[in-house]
Amino acid sequence: MKYVKPEIISLKKHSTYNEKWLQAKIEEDPSIVGLGDLLLRASEKRLKGGGRLDTLLYDPEDNRRYEVEIQLGKTDESHIIRTIEYWDIERRKNPQYEHCAVIIAEDITSRFLNVISLFNGFIPLIAIQVKAVKIGDTISLFFTKVLDELRLDLNEEDLEKETSDRKYWEKKASKNSLKLVDKYITEFVNPLSEYEPKFNKHYIGLGKDGIANNFISFLPRKSFVIINVRLDKTEDLDQLIENSGLDTLTYDRQWRQYRFKIKENDLNENNEIISNLTKMSFEEYWK
């Protein structure tokens, strides 16, 4: 195999391979930036109050939008302000989605990285460095994530500390919803092993001998209950759930959970798939 020395090209100084060219390449194939199999939602989007967002990308699986700003050369203060401003405008206008600000630049300096990191966790922000490399008569792009998003969500141990009781959830949701949780545990969980509901402030989990085993967790609402089933996402499971009669929600990648809504009739009409999913989760995580 022959070695060919690559040549790094400055897109900022190049007449042909410029910011518009880079933006077009990203929008032709958003997967090249390394954020997953994203879709292009909008290009050069006009925003209320002025300004244009370079690129708006969308992840249909996570129901999440990425507000992308491109900067050739070194990042500067105006660039981060613009990126955060556009992210804020979009999240306020479209609160039904999760939103993440993305900076793509040729040179993200250590000083600028330190400034960005101050916002990270409070503002979902990703910084990606791009390099254009010429080899012979071809050109390629390399994207490196230099700052990943850091979420300040409570971890499971923190959530467990915020305990509540049955009365709290009966008031927050309804007595019928709590009865539905009881029925689910009795019919689908207890045949596997004896558990009882463990009441926390943010959800209802499962407990046994004082130990939390949340392979299944519950989020009661007034007229239904959201069930979270901890299972790794696979195409086979996706297909199985899609072909069922369950009212499904977006897969939670952070906690690795399939989510769906249930009402009283679902426990009978979808008995087999609910039983199978519960058993699979139990066998995978709490043998």
Residue 1 falls inside a structural domain: no
Residue 193 falls inside a structural domain: yes
- This model's pTM is above 0.75: no
Q: Report residue 114: phi and psi, to 5°.
A: -65, -40
User: Per DSSP, which regions of 75-194 are E strands?
Assistant: 98-107, 125-135, 138-147
Give the H or E element holding residue 177: helix 175-184
Domain boundary among 122, 147, 172: 147
| Burial class (CB within 10 angstroms; exposed 0-12, middle 13-18, buried 19+) of 60 | exposed
State the pLDDT at residue 159. 47
Domain boundary among 147, 166, 185: 147
**Do 102 and 16 fall within a single domain?**
yes
**Do 98 and 228 fall within a single domain?**
no
**Do 185 and 80 fall within a single domain?**
no
Residue 2 falls inside a structural domain: no
Residue 127 falls inside a structural domain: yes
**Do 193 and 228 fall within a single domain?**
yes
State the pLDDT at residue 286. 59
**Do 160 and 87 fall within a single domain?**
no
The answer to whether 177 and 221 have CB atoms below 8 angstroms apart is yes
User: Per DSSP, which regions of 92-215 are E strands?
Assistant: 98-107, 125-135, 138-147, 196-199, 204-208, 211-212
CATH number of the domain where residue 83 is located: 3.40.1350.10
Write the DSSP assignment of 217-282 as a string of letters: EEEE-SS-EEEEEE----HHHHHHHHTSS-EE---BTTTTEEEEEE-TTHHHHTHHHHHHHHHHHH
Number of domains observed in the structure of the chain: 2
State the pLDDT at residue 90. 92
Ordered mean pLDDT values, 10 residues apiece, the chain (287 residues):
82 88 94 90 86 90 87 84 91 87 88 70 85 89 83 47 81 93 95 91 86 90 92 90 87 83 90 94 76
Domain boundary among 147, 179, 194: 147
The answer to whether 91 and 123 have CB atoms below 8 angstroms apart is no
**Do 116 and 190 fall within a single domain?**
no
Residue 169 falls inside a structural domain: yes
Q: Is 65 helix (H, G, I), strand (E, B) or coil?
A: strand
**Residue-number span of the structural domain to which 192 is assigned:** 156-285
| Burial class (CB within 10 angstroms; exposed 0-12, middle 13-18, buried 19+) of 62 | middle
Q: What are the percentages of helix, strand and coil residues in the chain, rounded to 5?
A: 35, 35, 35
